[in-house]
Each structure stands twice: as structure tokens, then as C-alpha cells.
Structure 1
Amino acid sequence: MTETVRRGSRRLTFFVLAAGAGFFAMLQSLITPVLPTIQHDLHTSQNTVTWVLTAYLLSASIFTPILGRVGDMVGKERMLVVSLASLALGCLLAAAAPSIGVLIVARVIQGIGGAVFPLSFGIIRDEFPAARVTSAVAAISAIVAAGGGLGVVLAGPIVTALDYRWLFWIPMVVVGLTALAAHLFVPESPVRTPGRIDWRATVLLSGWLVALLLPISKGSAWGWTSGRVLGLLALAVVLLAGWLVAEIRSTNPLIDMRMMRLPGVWTTNLVALLYGASMFSVYAFLPQFVQTPTVAGYGFGASITQAGLLMLPMLVAMFVAGILAGRLASRFSAKAQLATGAAFNVLATAMLTVAHDTRWEIGVAGGLVGLGIGLAFASMANLIVGNVPSWQTGVATGMNANIRTIGGAIGAAVVSGVITAHPQANGLPREAGFTMGFLVLTGLALAAALAALAVPSARRAAAGRRPSPATEPVGELVTVPAGR
């Protein structure tokens, strides 16, 4: 009877974790098809409105390791509730935002919810049987991938029936209920990792990300050789170097650089960085391309709903590939699936570069992107799980998701700068801007595919992940009294 109750509790816990992670991923892409609508409604530029996406990804990149670390110290369930509540609060502010500045601030608050990834993976590690950890982590990763694709498809019908602000009202209600469910039903983990937050590393991490993304996104407006751009890029390099030194020397690092040096970890994270840059940019700019009025000489003048329907092949392919990934695991290794997924992404972005004149070409390219994401997300999670000690599953998988988000923020800023560099007289981007943007994505996708080939095989990874005494957990297990 007790075991039956525990299994039921695990199912409920998994459902809550999946809902939280899925809705965060959905909010990454839900607003991308309506960026032109937001730009018009809030009277801003295309370059500025892109920060509605970039700010969300940047905030998640910063807060994910911080709250993940706090969760290890004070309780993962508590921080899960905080993350979900922040996501709901950000949705409330975004729904009522009177200006683009307020909307960007709201998206920063929503980004705090990015901590649901490491917290969810850590809870799975602590609460689920060891034999089920890998499959549960892969399932959450697949749901995250599907959530991102679903957001692009659902945006149109919601905006058509209601208004773009309902893209925030609806998630606010659902995420708020999910936060309540997490408080009521997700058990508090008995595992604690004593330590403290290294605020110096936190400030340096925030600093180099902002110093990098701001000039990349504003380079076309400020001038790529201007003092502001060159000065900020130089500052980013200095702050990045300072952050790396601080993390290496810290006794309580936000990101354990010893773990990051494991061959199976750093190669998979490199794939995540490059893949994230390509994937999030496709989410952001492909819907904008198909919505471009035909007066620009390209595009389809599609409505938001029509743009979502053109993205439907991507969602279907993503769902199918996500299901097949688990079933193919016995025949095709995680590395093989990752490399295959990356190859699909190369084909998709290359196709968009040379063939984007008809709707079927967009649909086929989107389907290839979906196949790639479905295979890559699950395989990256399993590669990380298979390459780190069990007590580092949560932080390692969470960091992989975070690096993917950092890549997305960088990729979105870079491609936005490329697309908007030389607008037409009517303010619309030139077709050459999108073509060059798709070419940049092809380069990123190709680099991700090559990095996937460098991931160690399972046998080599198993031999290389034996922990040194320096990485053994000390004083990690602390029993927490039952109840609240």
C-alpha cells in the first residue's frame, strides 16, 4: 500500500514538474509570432521589440544557476514555488504593460522561472528511483521541447479570438495554479547541500552577459565600430575572464568548473550553446518572416494564426521525434541521436537560406527543425545524466538547459542585428537581411553538428566520469522532518 501511494505521489510530482517546465518553455516562444503586433501596439522599433525575447532569455540565464543553488541549500520545493510564482507575477505585469519598457521588465521577472529546470531535475533525482531518473529527465526535456513548439502554434488562435495580452493572462492563471499544486503536492527534498551564494560570481555573470548582448543587438544602430560597441565588447571579455577565475577559485561556485571539464559534459554543453542559438532564432524570426507584408517583395503577409499553422509541421515532427527518441535508445545511442538531430537542423537552416519563396518550403524546413529538436533535447539530457555522478544530476542537467538558454539569447541578439541592419525605406527588413540571418543560423547549426560528433562515446564517458576526491559530496545529506 505504501509503495502504491509513493508511486501515485511520484506521478503527481512529475505532472506538476512537467507543467511548470512546459509552460516556461511555452512562454519562450508564445510571443515570438506576435512581436510585430507588439511593436505596432507599443510604438517601438523591431530592434527594440526583440528584447521582449532577449530579456526573457537573459534573465533566465542569470537566475537559473542562482535559484538552483539556493534550492540545493534551503529546499528545492520551496524554490520551485518561488520560481513559478515569479513567472505568474511576470505574466500579470506583462498583460497590463502600458509600454515596451514595462513589458521588458515583466519579461525579466518571468525569466526567474527558468530555475524550474534545475529544480525539477534535482527533485526527480531526489524523489524517483535511480532506474527511473534517466527516463524522467528525458521526458521533461521532451515536454520542454514540445512546449516551445506549441507556443508558436497557439499564439495565433489566442490573439485572433482575444488579444495578444491574453498570451500572458492565460499562462498567469495556469502557472499560478501550478505553483499552488507544487506547494501542496511536491514533497520537500530531504537532500541539502550546505554552502552560500557567491555574489561576486553572480554579478560577473550578469555583467558579461549584458555587456555582450547589448552591443550585439544595438550594433547596427550604434555602428559596429563605434566606441560604445567596442567598449562593451571589451568589457564583456574582461568580465567573462573575471567570472571564470572567480568560479574556479570559489568554494561555492554557481557553476562547478571541475564538473564542466568532464569531456562528456563540456562537449554536450557546447552543442547546447550552439543549438540553442540556432533554435531560439528560428522560433523568433521564422514567424516574422512569413508575416512580412508582400509589399516588401518577399514574405507571405500571413496573419498570426496562419504563421502558427505554417509552424505546425515543426510541432508535429518535434512530438514524433521526442517519442521515438526514447524507443530508439536501445538501438541508437544518445550521441547518435544528438548528431542526427543536429544534422536535421543544418538541413533546415540551409534550406531556409536558399529556398523560402513558397509556403511548402517553410513547412518542410520547419518539420526538419522539429525532428532535430525532438531528438536533440532528450539526447542531451541523457548524455549529461550518463556523464556525471548521481548527486550532480540536477545541477548538471539544469546547467545544460541554462547554457542552451544563453545560446538562445546570444543567437537572437546576433540574428536580430543582422536582419535589421539595413531596413527598407518603409521600415521593413530587406530580404537579404533574412537570407543572411538564415545563413548565420546554418553556420551555427553546422558548428553544433560538428560538436556533437566530438561528444565521447558511452564507454569512454563512463571511464572518464569517475569522480575525484575533490568532487565527492561532503555533508550533502540532511534529513528534513516530515510535514510542513
Structure 2
Amino acid sequence: MVAERQRRTVRGHWAVTFTVLTVAVSSFTLLQSMVVPVLGLIADEMDTDMSTATWVLTAYLLSASICTPLLGRVGDVVGKQKMLVVTMLALTLGSLVAALAGNIWVLILARVLQGAGGGVLPLAFGIIRDEFPERHRASALSIIAALASVGFAVGIVVAGPIVEGLSYHWLFWFPMIATGLAAVATALFVPESPVAERSRLPLAPAVLLAAWLVALLLGISRGNEWGWSSPLVLSLLAGAVVLAVGWVAVENRARVPMIDMQMMRRRGIWTTNLVGGFVGFGMFSSFGFLPQFLQTPEAAGYGFGASISESGQILVPSAIASFLVGFVTAPLVKRLGARVVIVSGTLMTGVAFAAIALWHDAVWQIVAATSLQGVGNGLVFGSLAGVVIASVPASQTGVASGMNANIRTIGGSIGSAVMAGVVTAHVGLGGLPAEGGYVLGFALIAGGMVLAAVAACAIPDTRGPASPTPRTVPAPRRTVAPSRVLAPGSSV
């Protein structure tokens, strides 16, 4: 009996669970960006063109966009710990296949498997809400959210040394080892969260959600190559609109909706989703093109001729700033309110992008601007998760936070496509992009962050994630059985 009690104490201890979640989230976020600086190298190694090689990134984003909300919803229904193990195993298998891939198409397939790791974020947020003591919950959410933000920058930073010291295959071997260990640790030490809503999974809404996301992101990601006015791209974008409308209609009629549209209309949800979309627009597109800007030879009239490693090192202060801010975001939200913190963060990021557009003749200018961006991103991402979780009942934590993360990915896909279109539309000396294209692109991102700040003004002025109670949170609409709201740390 004593041994059993000790086993439960170790297994359910929030600090152990938090350690496992940080490894899981870090592995997923690193995989988002580590391939960005080496896509050209992958194209050469696998004897393919750059257009095909970009599918190594596009396939990952498409898969993550679909799997993030779906796996978050499955976790709400069947158990978050079980689905976290499944997600970690998908990341492990995808990384193994990617490391052994002998041609570009096998590598792209492996990246689709890795995209299932998108479920890590909503599952981690849900586990924190269910299992952590209230006094630690806000800080844990902020740190995990900051990891999701900083991981993209860190992936770009570490890619260079890994490739130059070993090979690009180790960009997948290392995550495979980490996610494999995380899967075992999750099974052993992370307690199963209470299932607040038992129901069958809504198949039709899931298929329609996947269909319109694929059509939208495929059209956006290939618009520059196929032509924005081409029948194929126009058909994809039009089809995305039609499928999205159909998805909303089916969700509204479904007896058990996958995503409650009433939930999506809540002030704390639609405002954070709007802000998340704009921030994703800026984060993905900026870090996707800053390395290219830094690696441009000085003979072009701009750039610094940096290597892959050197361009990553320039972004180190940004990654550090974003991560460290995650530790202080929760106290700031508690003292100032989420609205003030998020508005301040989006404005900082907007100023940073405007500074890059105006001043980029010296490395210190880039370092100063990207460091300010890191602080802004840390404030925003560290606060959004708490607002989302405070706005929904426990049974919808996974799907609500998953959709917020998913909308950031969609925003990032749109931002990358827009940035690519602007930069490649202006050609300078030697066929390289003209400096004016980068200037206009970063100015557009700055404008997007101003819009994010405007949207953030409508965010509820919460002071941290609230504990779910039947008195303050309405039950989900049209469920098969009444939801049973459990206190954090409870078990079924």
C-alpha cells in the first residue's frame, strides 16, 4: 500500500509532468524550423529542385494544421495522456523515416508523420490545466507557450552547427531520440487527465476541417510557383471557402460537434485567434526570410554574406529573450491583465519589424531589433494560452488551444507566401532579390502586427487561467451526455 501511494505520488507530481511536457513541446517546435536554413542543401543532396524541396516544410505545416485541432479534440474525449503518447510516437516514427530517407518523396512523407506532433500543444495545455496546482498553473502555461514561440528561432540557430559538424540527417536523429524518451516518460510519469466529456468522435466535421485546410494551405503555399491567377490556385482557394462554409454548417447541425461554434464566438476565443493569426504571420515569415537576408553576399548591396551557422547565431539573442520573458509573463498578466501585456507585446514586435525595414546596415541593428521582437513574442505567446483556457470549460481546453495554435500556423503559411511573393518580385544584381523587396516585406509584417495590437484591445482583461467550475462556465452545446467538470488533479 505504501509503495503504491509512493508510485502515485511520483507519477502525479506536477514537476515531473512539466519536465516531460517541456521536452515534448521543445522537440515539436524545433522540428518546425530546423530544415528552413538547409532546404537548399537538401535539394542538392537529393538531386531535386528548390520548388520540390520546399515541400519538406510545406508538408509539415499542412499536416500540423490538420492534426493540431483534431488530436486536441481526441484528447478531450479519450484522454490527453494517451494521445500525448501517440503523438510522441508519431514524431519518433516520422523522425526515424526522415533520417533514413533516400529520396525527397520519402522525406516529405516523413514530414507528414512529424506534423502529427502538432497535437502536443493542445494536449500539453490541457494536462497543465487538469493536473497542476493553481498556484503553478499560470507560470507553467506561460513557459510552455514561450517554448512554442522560441523553438522556431532556436531551430534555425542550431541547424547550422549540426549540419556542419555532422550532416542534415542529424536534424532528425536528435529529435527522434528526444521524442522516443519523452513517449516513454509520458507513459510512466504523466497521469491521465479526467475525461470530462465522453462521446463519439465527430467524423464528418473532422473530414471537412481537414479538406478546407489542405485546400487553403496548398493554394497559398504554391501560389508563387503555379501563379496566383492560375485556374488550379483559384480553384483551391475557392474550394477552401466552400468547404469552410460547409464545415461551419455541419458543425452547427452536428449532435456532437468537433468544435463548438458557440465556443468560437466567445470573446476570449475569437480575439486570441485573431491575434494569433497575425503573430503567426509575422513570426514564420520573418524567421523564414531573415536567414536568407543575412546570407546574401555583400556584393548585392546589402546582406552580410553569413554562413548558415553565422546567420543562426545572429538570432540567438532573440531566442533567449523570448524564452526568458516566458518566466515573467504570468506575474505581469496577474498584475496588469492579459490585454495590456498582449497589446504591449504586439506593439514591440511591430516596432522591431519596422526597425529591420529601416535600419539593416550593421549586425548590431539586426540583433537589437530581433531581440525586441523576441521580448514581444514572449509576452504575446505567454499570455494567449491563459486567455484561451480561461474562456472555455475543461472539456474544450484541448480543441480551443489547438485551434489557436493552428490559426498561428495558418497565419504563418499566409505570411510566408506573402513574403515570398514580395521578395521574389524584386530582382537585383546577379539575380538575387533586391533590397527593396525585403524592406517592403518587413514593413508589411510591421503593419500586420499593428493590426494584431488593435485586435488585442478587445481581449478580455483576464488575470490568469481560471479554474473550471460549473457556475462560471456553461456546459458544451448538444453533447450526448452532460459534461462532468472535475477539479484539477482529479482522476476517473
> Shared fold (TM-score greater than 0.5)?
yes
Give the Å deviation of 1:131: 4.4
Of 173, 176, 182, 1:172 maps to: 176
Between 217-226 and 44-53, report the one with greater CA deviation: 44-53
Three-state SS of the structure 1 residue aligned to 2:335 is coil
Instruction: Return the alpha-carbon distance in structure 1 between the equivalents of residues 358 and 105 of structure 2.
Output: 36
Q: What CA distance in whole angstroms lies between the structure 2 residues aligned with 1:104 and 1:431?
A: 32
* Deviation at residue 475 of structure 1 after TM alignment: 4.0
Distance (Å, rounded) in 1 between the aligned partners of 2:209 and 2:32:
21
Counterpart position of 1:133: 137
The one-letter code of the counterpart of 1:53 is: L
Deviations 1:327-368 (A, max 9, x none): 323432111111111011101111222222321222122112
Match of 1:32 among 36, 59, 72: 36
Match of 1:273 in 2: 277
Q: Partner residue of 1:103?
A: 107
Answering whether residue 363 of structure 2 is matched by residue 365 of structure 1, we say no
- Whether contact under 8 Å (1:47, 1:420) holds in the other structure is no
8 Å Cα contact 1:335/1:383 also seen in 2: no
Q: Deviations over 1:431-451 (max 9, x none)?
A: 333233223322222211111
- The answer to whether the Cα contact below 8 Å between 1:21 and 1:140 also exists between their aligned partners in 2 is yes
Match of 1:210 among 193, 206, 214: 214
| Change beyond 3 A, Cα 1:97–1:440 | farther
Cα distance in 2, alignment partners of residues 226 and 52 from structure 1: 23
Contact residue 76 and residue 195 of structure 2 kept, 8 A: yes
Deviation at 1:379, TM superposition (A): 0.8
1:221 matched residue in structure 2: 225
Q: 96-105 or 107-116: which moved more?
A: 96-105
Alpha-carbon distance change, 352 to 221 in structure 1, aligned in 2, over 3 angstroms:
same
Structure 1's 342 and 44: CA in aligned 2 closer, same or farther, altered over 3 A? farther
The 1:95/1:420 distance shift into structure 2, 3 A limit, reads farther
Question: Are positions 1:11 and 2:11 aligned together?
Answer: no
User: What SS does the aligned partner of 1:458 have?
Assistant: coil
Quick one: structure 1 residues 327 and 168, their matched pair in 2 at CA, closer, same or farther if it must change by over 3 Å? Answer: same
CA distance in 2, matches of 1:296, 1:224: 28
CA distance in 2, matches of 1:165, 1:429: 29
Q: Which moved more, 1:266-275 or 1:385-394?
A: 385-394
Name the SS of the counterpart of 2:361 in structure 1: coil
Of residues 347, 351, 360, the one that matches 1:343 is 347
Partners of 1:360 and 1:278 lie apart in 2 by 21
CA RMSD of aligned residues (A): 2.8
8 Å Cα contact 1:65/1:399 also seen in 2:
yes
Contact 2:12 2:191 in 1 (8 A): no
Q: Give the equivalent residue in structure 1 for 2:146.
A: 142
Give the letter for the 1:119 counterpart: L
> Which 10-residue stretch deviates more, 416-425 or 189-198?
416-425
Q: Equivalences for 1:78-97 in 2 at 5 Å?
A: 78-97=82-101
Are residues 1:262 and 2:266 paired?
Answer: yes
- The sequence identity of aligned pairs, in percent, is 50
Q: What is the identity, as a one-letter code, of the residue corresponding to 2:365?
A: E
Is 1:352 matched with 2:356?
yes
1:197 and 1:396 map into 2 onto residues whose CA distance is 16
Matched with 1:404 is 408
Q: Give the secondary-structure state (helix, strand or coil) at the position aligned to 2:13.
A: helix
Aligned to 1:68: 72
Q: How does 1:387-466 map to 2 (within 5 A)?
A: 387-421=391-425, 428-458=432-462, 466=472
Structure 1 residues 226 and 454, CA gap change in structure 2 (3 angstroms): same
Q: Could you give the per-residue CA deviations for residues 284-312 of structure 1, whole angstroms, max 9, x where no partner exists?
A: 11112212233444322211110111101
Which residue identity is paired with 1:166?
W
CA contact (8 A) 2:146 2:381 kept: yes
Q: Could you say if the C-alpha distance between residues 398 and 211 of structure 1 is closer, same or farther in structure 2, counting changes exceeding 3 Å?
A: closer
Name the amino acid aligned to 2:71: L
Q: Is the 1:349–1:439 contact (alpha carbons within 8 Å) kept by the matching residues of 2? A: yes
Which consecutive residues of structure 2, in runs of 5 or more, have no partner in the other structure?
A: none
Q: Call closer, same or farther: CA 1:221–1:53 in 2, change over 3 Å.
A: closer
CA distance in 2, matches of 1:250, 1:10: 37
1:469 positional shift = 5.5
Secondary structure of 2:41's match? Answer: helix
SS of corresponding position for 1:195: coil
Distance (Å, rounded) in 1 between the aligned partners of 2:428 and 2:105: 26
Q: Does structure 1 retain, via aligned residues, the 8 Å contact 2:224–2:417? A: no
Partner Cα separation in structure 1 for residue 227 and residue 403 of structure 2: 34
- When structure 1 is superposed on structure 2, of 346-355 and 374-383 the one drifting more is 346-355
Change (3 A) 1:330 1:69: closer
Question: What is the SS of the residue equivalent to 2:304?
Answer: coil
TM-score (ref. length: structure 1): 0.90
Greater Cα offset, 82-91 or 65-74: 65-74
Q: 2:229 is aligned with what amino acid?
A: T
Q: Deviations over 1:190-216 (max 9, x none)?
A: 425222333322222222222222332
User: Does 35-44 or 362-371 show the bigger shift?
Assistant: 35-44
2-structure distance, mates of 1:437, 1:370: 19
1:272, distance to aligned residue in structure 2 (A): 0.6
Helix, strand or coil for the counterpart of 2:386? Answer: helix
Give deviations 1:110-161, integer Å, cap 9, x for gaps: 0101101111222222222344433322222123223333222211221221
Query: Does the CA contact (< 8 Å) of 1:281 and 1:411 recur in 2?
Result: yes
The farther-off stretch of 171-180 and 143-152 is 143-152
Please tell me whether residue 53 in structure 1 is matched to residue 42 in structure 2.
no
Cα distance 1:333–1:34, how it changes in 2: closer, same or farther (>3 A)? same
| Residues 38 and 427 (structure 1), Cα distance of their counterparts in 2 relative to 1, 3 Å cut | farther
Is the partner of 1:331 in helix, strand or coil?
Answer: helix
Q: What one-letter code is carried by the residue in structure 2 that aligns with 1:135?
A: S
- Per mean C-alpha deviation after superposition, the further-off stretch among 369-378 and 296-305 is 296-305
1:233 matches 2:237? yes
- Point out where structure 1 has 5 or more consecutive residues left out of the alignment: none
